[in-house]
C-alpha cells in the first residue's frame, strides 16, 4: 500500500521547517516573542531599508501565521523602504490582512526600526 501523506504537504509546513535564506538572522529574530530579539549587528549587515521585494517576502513568510500574505506583499511591490513605512492600518485596509497577522508584522517591523536606530 502507498501512503498519500508523503507527496502532499500542507501549505504551511515548508516555511516553518526551512530557515530564511535572504534576510538571514534578521528574519528569524521576530519569530520569537517581541522585544530585542533582532541583533543590531545583523541589521547593519543586512539593512532592511535596502531589501528588495523578494527579501521582504522571505521576511514575512518566516513570521508565524503570516506566510499566507506573502503574495500580497509581492502584488503590492513592498520593498524594504515601503516595509519600514507600513502601519497596521495599511495592512488591514489596503492589503486586507487580518488584525492578528497585521500586528505580528508591525511588531517585527518595529523591532527592525529599533535595531536600525541603534546603529
pLDDT (tens digit per residue) in 50-104:
999 999 999 999 999 999 999 999 999 999 999 999 999 999 999 999 999 999 9
pLDDT value at residue 77:
97
- Do residues 62 and 31 make contact, with C-beta atoms less than 8 angstroms apart? yes
Bin 77: left if φ > 0, else alpha if -120 < ψ < 50, else beta. Answer: left
Instruction: Measure the CA–CA gap between 1 and 41, rounded to whole angstroms.
Output: 52
> Domain segments of the chain: what residues?
36-117
Lowest mean pLDDT among 14-18, 41-45, 78-82, 88-92: 14-18
Q: What does the angle CA 110 – CA 115 – CA 118 come to, to the nearest 5 degrees? A: 130
pLDDT value at residue 43:
62
pLDDT value at residue 7:
44
- Do residues 29 and 35 make contact, with C-beta atoms less than 8 angstroms apart? no
pLDDT value at residue 116:
87
User: What pTM was estimated for this model as a whole?
Assistant: 0.66
pLDDT band for 44, please (50, 70, 90 cuts): low
The class level of CATH for 36-117 reads mainly alpha
**Residue in the block written with cell 487580518:** 98
R_g over Cα of the chain:
15
Amino acid at each position: 500500500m502507498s501512503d498519500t501523506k508523503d507527496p502532499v504537504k500542507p501549505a504551511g509546513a515548508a516555511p516553518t521547517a526551512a530557515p530564511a535564506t535572504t534576510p538571514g538572522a534578521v528574519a528569524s529574530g521576530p519569530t520569537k516573542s517581541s522585544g530585542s530579539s533582532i541583533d543590531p549587528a545583523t541589521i547593519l549587515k543586512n539593512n532592511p531599508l535596502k531589501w528588495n521585494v523578494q527579501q521582504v517576502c522571505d521576511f514575512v513568510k518566516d513570521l508565524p501565521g503570516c506566510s499566507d500574505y506573502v503574495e500580497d506583499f509581492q502584488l503590492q511591490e513592498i520593498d524594504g523602504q515601503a516595509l519600514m513605512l507600513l502601519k497596521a492600518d495599511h495592512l488591514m485596509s489596503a492589503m486586507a490582512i487580518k488584525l492578528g497577522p497585521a500586528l505580528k508584522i508591525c511588531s517585527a517591523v518595529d523591532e527592525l526600526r529599533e535595531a536600525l536606530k541603534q546603529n
